[in-house]
Structure 1
Amino acid sequence: MAPGGISTRQKSCNACVKSKRRCDKQIPSCGNCLKRRFPCSYGGKSAMQSHSNSASGSSSGSVASPPAVYESSSALHNGFSAIFDMDLDFPDATLHFDGALESLLNSMADNQFNDTDKLSGLLGRDAQTGPSSTSKSLSRIDYSKIAPVCDDFEPWQLTDPSTRICYIVNVLKNFHTTFAQYKSTIYMHGQLYASNPPRWILQAFATCVLYTSQTAATRGFVLKILQENVNNLIHTASGTSFTPREKLARVHALMAYQTIRMFDGDIALNQQAQNDMPIMEAWNEELRKIRDNLNDVFELDMIELRKKQPESWERWLFAESVRRTYIIGLALRTFWDLLRDQGDESDFGNWEYIHRWTLSRHLWAAQNSFDFWRAWNEKPMWVINAFCFDEFLRTGKGDDIDDLALVFLVLSFGLDEVKTFCYETSRRLLE
């Protein structure tokens, strides 16, 4: 019999079950929860879940559906810069959510999922001005699936490909390489800067290409170009009087430079990256102020979601890139602090906000408006709310997972578990 008279087979507390830790079953709080200042409860719903349900029930949002505009492929050549060379603000807000699944495979076998967190999102809706909420609602318990990656980190794990931290760090350290090879990353679409690319993007791309192809004879010259381009970026892109497109471009450029300097191995470059971290954080925070965080329609089901077509492929692509970039910017700083042993468990920072993005390999992979609209009408899509994958795991398949979702699924459940999910649901083999 669990505390409170609730009959259950579960002996360990809810938090220890979710984080897969050994529970000493002490009452009113076990040793792990007491040490980490987690709410401790046994069986049934925790206080966090009850609060989440009440919060979800009191939230609502509705937006008139924008007209469905079928964009021709020619819009690609002159649409992005014209659409986003104006100063726009997007509302931001927060929403409480329930904890993650007990485990990926148990979720697949037992089919036990939360119903309080429904699909949400008006993907790429028209830009609207409005008050921006600054309240924060998430705590460590909400990241119980991800937190152990940081809490249990040991340097040797970086050499073991089977560990979550090794997988994630390898993704982060190769952003500049991916950019040089494909002019895209998991947060920056390859067609985002197809027309009239900002000079900062051109300089960053050229630097990444030079760096990835450097030799011992050219290294000194390449690093000189790197430093001059970083200095030029910081000198010309500082301030707030920039268009949304320019604000996004400067973050993309600086993140490319940062990943080079953070993971090069040269102590001087490492220190330069550390010195410029406050600038990257400040610029990334500007993205939070302009992003469309998909607040207004979080209770839509899949059928209703399809009816909320974005005004254009270009607008959706830009808005989605902003959402993804902001999240990766936070992750880059968090793991950098972890590797430097500079993390502060008591400071949750902007992870306390609700962050949302669209999980859809089909939408993100679209290279033109025709492919995008076809995917919008025929392929599944999910809006991930606060890293809760319940709805996706219940209805999605491995073929639906894009590279950004793959990162956070591995963080939440482990690489082998995600590989198993992809293979069992769609016969997709991950590298």
Structure 2
Amino acid sequence: MHRRSKQTSCFACVASKRGCDKVLPVCSRCEEKEITCEYPAVRHRRGRQLPKSSQAGIADDGPRAEDSSIIANQLATTDERGDIHLLSINGNNSTTQLQNSQSCSTFTGTNLPSHASFLPVFPSQIALDIDLSSSNQLSPPYDRLKFFLLPSAWTIAYHYEPPAAYPPGDVLLNFTRGIQSWLKRFFHQGHNPFIHRHLYSNTTMPLCMQDAFTSISIQNAIASNEHIIDDIFASQVGDLVTKQPIEGSETFSLLSTRDHIARTQALLIHLLLALFSSSIPRRAKAEGLIATLHHWTNQLWQSASQDANFHDVIQSISSVDGVGCVSIDDPVSDLYQSFVLYESTRRTWILSNFATGVYQSLRGNWGTTCTGDICITARAELWDASSPARWAAIAKSKDPLFVYSLHGQSLLKDSVAAEEVDEFMRHLYTIMWGINKVEDWIVQSGDTVSIIY
């Protein structure tokens, strides 16, 4: 028998024989050295049932979606460090009844988390083509790795209900701090919860992403010189937008999904920096580009979904022996690279709609329409896997937790531990459920992850 490792320090500190403060997700030493910080995997016993008291007000029986516009009566400003503060807080935690238009089953506010009563409800018939948690789906050998390529995995679900409750100021403040933290993490480590570590690792980072990377550095370095940052923002964003090929042109048709995601992530970073800044001119210009971001995000989604369908066809052809068939020498590596691209696409799509919805709500724009909801891989180990082999091993042995982003209640219902769920999703759940509900989930799971930024 192999002895289970009791190592709790990160690999980098162990290798350098230095003390590790074990801060999650990145220890202080790794953050200071700007190196990758990875901890040993922690095994969790599945099937743990949370106490009924911890599930009360959290889990329910129906999937639901939410409008990307999160309503609140707040205005935002920043201090000299660039952190966000909320003014004129006027939260309303009233609850209401939500009704599924197809099943006609009513959920009362007493059965919902404190901030979930404004969530629209998905028709219960929405489901994936296969049962991903079933062990009989392992043949042919790579089918279980293709969960993100299924046609149903690219279905955008729409169902809108008017919002009825507002997340309080501390929840929105924590959300914006988390976004700022993710941008800084990209600057220090080259990746974050919506930009995969291997998305740009096999090639030179696109120039538009290099400019976005530079913008993060500049804003954190010379935050007091707002007029300089305003000029740099206007120049970089202006170049990014004006240099794009015209939609419908031959040049535009040649854009790959990687081209689409690079320009969309670059614009998203620029807008996240500007929308939550203290500069009125920068915020005003960024507001005018929200529609462009949504348009690019939709084009990215369309390109990725078409590519995924083509990828599945090629995989099917390559599995048949015969002359003229396409040969894929390393199907696991190929699927892993596709996962990195498409999962980054999903997270970019969600964050673009979610973050701009939060901002517009903070500004008092209550009329944002529902953008729908999409599936995302919530299992943290799959996003954090360091190699194709490790990713494949996890995907074959565990449920990928591939769910609609606003269907997180199903994870609680299945007693999934908070630490098993990706940081990206846990952070969104703080808006949907409230910080206290997510903290209860973490504590009852016996985990040590943090949702406080």
The TM-score normalised by the length of structure 1 is 0.62
- Residue 349 of structure 1 aligns to a residue whose secondary structure is coil
Call closer, same or farther: CA 1:214–1:411 in 2, change over 3 Å. Answer: same
Which amino acid counterpart does residue 252 of structure 1 have in structure 2? Q
After the TM superposition, which residues 265-276 of structure 1 pair with which residues of structure 2 at under 5 Å, given as runs?
265-276=278-289
C-alpha distance in 2, partners of 1:228/1:274?
A: 16
1:239 pairs with 2:246:
yes
Which amino acid counterpart does residue 185 of structure 1 have in structure 2? N
Identity %, equivalent residues: 13
CA positional deviation for 1:222: 4.3
- Residue 105 of structure 2 aligns to a residue whose secondary structure is coil
Which amino acid counterpart does residue 123 of structure 2 have in structure 1? S
* Alignment-derived partner of residue 253 in structure 1: 266
- Residue 273 of structure 2 aligns to a residue whose secondary structure is helix
C-alpha distance in 2, partners of 1:68/1:316?
A: 17
The partner residue of 2:106 within 42, 46, 69 is 46
1:334 pairs with 2:357:
yes
1:387 pairs with 2:394:
no
* Alignment-derived partner of residue 182 in structure 1: 189
Call closer, same or farther: CA 1:313–1:421 in 2, change over 3 Å. Answer: same
CA positional deviation for 1:247: 0.6
Matched length:
314
CA positional deviation for 1:329: 0.8
Call closer, same or farther: CA 1:246–1:40 in 2, change over 3 Å. Answer: closer
* Alignment-derived partner of residue 55 in structure 2: none
Call closer, same or farther: CA 1:139–1:386 in 2, change over 3 Å. Answer: farther
CA positional deviation for 1:170: 2.2
* Alignment-derived partner of residue 396 in structure 2: 377
CA positional deviation for 1:399: 1.8
Contact 1:201/1:249 (<8 A) preserved:
yes
- Residues 150-174 of structure 1 show CA distances to partners (whole Å, capped at 9, x for unaligned) of x435xxx43xxxx322222222344
Higher helix share: 1
After the TM superposition, which residues 28-177 of structure 1 pair with which residues of structure 2 at under 5 Å, given as runs?
39=99, 45-46=105-106, 52-53=123-124, 55-56=125-126, 60=129, 122-125=146-149, 137-140=158-161, 147=163, 151-152=165-166, 157-158=168-169, 163-177=170-184
Contact 1:175/1:256 (<8 A) preserved:
no
Contact 1:204/1:256 (<8 A) preserved:
yes
The partner residue of 1:264 within 269, 277, 282 is 277
The partner residue of 1:348 within 362, 369, 393 is 369
- Residues 19-74 of structure 1 show CA distances to partners (whole Å, capped at 9, x for unaligned) of 99778xxxxxxxx56xxxx5499xx9339999935x359x85699989767xxxxx
1:212 pairs with 2:220:
yes
- Residues 75-103 of structure 1 show CA distances to partners (whole Å, capped at 9, x for unaligned) of xxxxxxxxxxxxxxxxxxxxxxxxxxxxx
* Alignment-derived partner of residue 347 in structure 2: 324
* Alignment-derived partner of residue 357 in structure 1: 376
CA positional deviation for 1:395: 3.3
* Alignment-derived partner of residue 205 in structure 2: 197
C-alpha distance in 1, partners of 2:300/2:122?
A: 29
Call closer, same or farther: CA 1:333–1:373 in 2, change over 3 Å. Answer: same
- Residues 232-265 of structure 1 show CA distances to partners (whole Å, capped at 9, x for unaligned) of 1111225341111111111100111101111111
- Residue 289 of structure 2 aligns to a residue whose secondary structure is helix
Call closer, same or farther: CA 1:267–1:66 in 2, change over 3 Å. Answer: farther
CA positional deviation for 1:359: 0.4
- Residues 344-393 of structure 1 show CA distances to partners (whole Å, capped at 9, x for unaligned) of 1xx53313xx4110001111112322332233234542012251123321
- Residue 204 of structure 2 aligns to a residue whose secondary structure is coil
Call closer, same or farther: CA 1:165–1:222 in 2, change over 3 Å. Answer: closer
CA positional deviation for 1:327: 0.9
C-alpha distance in 2, partners of 1:140/1:257?
A: 31
* Alignment-derived partner of residue 396 in structure 1: 416
Call closer, same or farther: CA 1:374–1:426 in 2, change over 3 Å. Answer: farther
C-alpha distance in 1, partners of 2:146/2:100?
A: 36
C-alpha distance in 2, partners of 1:22/1:215?
A: 39
C-alpha distance in 2, partners of 1:50/1:193?
A: 36
Which amino acid counterpart does residue 209 of structure 2 have in structure 1? I
Call closer, same or farther: CA 1:267–1:319 in 2, change over 3 Å. Answer: same
C-alpha distance in 1, partners of 2:401/2:212?
A: 32
Call closer, same or farther: CA 1:348–1:181 in 2, change over 3 Å. Answer: same
C-alpha distance in 1, partners of 2:182/2:245?
A: 23
Which amino acid counterpart does residue 440 of structure 2 have in structure 1? T
CA positional deviation for 1:316: 0.6
C-alpha distance in 2, partners of 1:214/1:375?
A: 43
The TM-score normalised by the length of structure 2 is 0.59
Unaligned runs of 5+ in 1: 1-13, 24-31, 70-119, 142-146, 296-307
C-alpha distance in 2, partners of 1:51/1:418?
A: 22
Which amino acid counterpart does residue 278 of structure 1 have in structure 2? A
